[in-house]
Amino acid sequence: MSSNRPTPAPQLPLLASLRPDFTWGVSTSSFQIEGGAREDGRGLSIWDVYCQSGEIKNHDTGDIACDHYHRYREDVALMQRLGVQAYRFSVGWPRVLPLGRGLANEPGLAFYDRLVDELLAANIEPWLCLYHWDLPQALEDLGGWQNRESVAWFADYAALIATRFGDRVKRFATFNEPSIFNLFSRSLGRRDRASEAGLYRATHQVNLSHGAAVDVLREKIRGASIGCIHNLQPCWPSSASEADAAAAARVAVYWNYAFPDPQCRGEYPPEMRAAIEPHLQPGDLARICRPLDWFGLNHYSPVYVKAQADAMLGYDFGEKPADVALTQIGWPINPEVFDETLRLAHQRYGLPIYVLENGYGGIDKPDETGAVIDPERVDFLRGYIGAMNSASASGVDVRGYFVWSLLDNFEWASGYSNRFGLNYVDYLSLQRIPKSSFHWYADLIRAARQ
């Protein structure tokens, strides 16, 4: 591990308005870091299958990823060096239930036992997310989220996790970014499923699965603190045309409100009601809208949208205006929008907010001395954390911030080409190299906790 460290540490943002008990953390997800894909009885996930479809950049796969499955101790030690108080990870459903239901896989459960115990020994609170997109392929073969049985499958899976880990884990998220996986993973690999009717059917069943899992976790775990994690970002038209404005408005409703509105307000957004209606049974909205302890917010950037008549929801990503600042992977940088998004989540949902993902995607490389110097990521984090402090000053109840991500990892359809980590991962040697942003974030946490 490199000991190179740039000094002096770049200036920290204002933190004065954050709560004294504010939680600083990092986030990851199972498929993106674990590897060990064929080990110890793990079943296949839909992402193992997508990776064979030829649609992932460089034909990358999750077979080895960051090898976190074997290197979790080293990774927890990195978190300890960072000084984070919390770590959000996800359980790979096919690792613990290879066929998605039925017989549990003891070695898979034992891996998460070891991880949780290692975290607790390091005084880092585990935040366990049940679903970060790696559906067991065996359930996809039965229709996946299109099948109303998925509600029972997910509730049974939640019960297994609650029974096994509820003595040590108290923070649970049901889903990560349901609007994003419903919009995007559906068009990968299984194009036959990419119909709008299917999108709304799956949307409703994921919402019902959320409600069912909340009830199971609440019933089985004393002191459980439960939420769902939503990606909120404004969708802006990429031109002045009416068609682009209409497309942006349509996708904005789905992207931002299709899940948190029914889960936290007990109703679908008016624009979506006719499409949901065919799938709605009496009592469903009450099953979805269960009491929650917090709102998980993931935010990166505004999205520019253009009309695309033959695409799902009639939109596609559009050109970004030439004067917009971009990350190295082309995502707009706009901390003010983060402040606005925090206010919106606060006003619309009224729950304590934990920012469970925010971060900078780059194409980092070690320099000739082996150090990874990433001032762009530091600037990004400084701007966004500063914006969060402003939101907090204006009364937004924000209680935690987790950087995406602890490690560079498998960035879905972009494979390993996009790097979001505070630690660089050399995918040949699997060595982790803390980037300069790692040291900066460690300094920030130390300053904030003084």
Binding residues (CB under 6 A) for ligand FCB: these are: 29, 32, 176-177, 180, 231, 298, 357, 404, 411-412, 420
- Measuring CA to CA, how many Å separate 206 from each of 22, 196, 366? 31, 15, 41
Looking at residue 76, the DSSP 8-state letter turns out to be H
Rounded Cα distance, 321 and 332, in Å? 10
- Which pair of tokens denotes residue 332? 């707009």
Query: Least distance in Å: CB of 359 to ligand FCB?
Result: 7
Nearer to ligand FCB, 203 or 301 (CB): 301
Query: Least distance in Å: CB of 449 to ligand FCB?
Result: 26
Query: Least distance in Å: CB of 180 to ligand FCB?
Result: 5
- Which pair of tokens denotes residue 44? 């296949």
Query: Least distance in Å: CB of 356 to ligand FCB?
Result: 9
Nearer to ligand FCB, 101 or 230 (CB): 230
Nearer to ligand FCB, 32 or 205 (CB): 32
Neighbour tally for 246: CB within 10 Å: 15
DSSP output for 245-281 = HHHHHHHHHHHHHTTHIIIIISS--GGGHHHHGGG--
Rounded Cα distance, 11 and 283, in Å? 53
Nearer to ligand FCB, 225 or 405 (CB): 405
Q: 319's torsion region: left (phi>0), alpha (psi -120 to 50) or beta?
A: beta
Query: Least distance in Å: CB of 290 to ligand FCB?
Result: 23
Catalytic residue (choose from 34, 118, 125, 177): 177
Rounded Cα distance, 261 and 268, in Å? 6
Rounded Cα distance, 290 and 287, in Å? 7
From the list 207, 236, 214, 417, the residue with the least C-alpha distance to 330 is 417
Rounded Cα distance, 131 and 158, in Å? 10
Nearer to ligand FCB, 132 or 382 (CB): 132
Amino acid letter, residue 190: R
Residue with tokens 């029972």: 152
- Which pair of tokens denotes residue 12? 């920290």
Q: 437's torsion region: left (phi>0), alpha (psi -120 to 50) or beta?
A: alpha
From the list 355, 357, 356, 339, the residue with the least C-alpha distance to 347 is 339
Question: 31 and 134 in contact (C-beta within 8 Å)?
Answer: yes
- Whether 140 is catalytic is no
Nearer to ligand FCB, 183 or 199 (CB): 183
- Measuring CA to CA, how many Å separate 209 from each of 154, 328, 446? 6, 37, 39
Nearer to ligand FCB, 48 or 357 (CB): 357
- Whether 319 is catalytic is no
Query: Least distance in Å: CB of 409 to ligand FCB?
Result: 8
Nearer to ligand FCB, 330 or 395 (CB): 330
Query: Least distance in Å: CB of 338 to ligand FCB?
Result: 14
Catalytic residue (choose from 149, 357, 368, 376): 357
Q: Is 307 helix (H, G, I), strand (E, B) or coil?
A: strand
- In the bound state, the residue with its beta carbon closest to ligand FCB is 177
- Which pair of tokens denotes residue 292? 């929650």
Question: 149 and 207 in contact (C-beta within 8 Å)?
Answer: no
Query: Least distance in Å: CB of 282 to ligand FCB?
Result: 33
Q: What residues act catalytically?
A: 177, 357
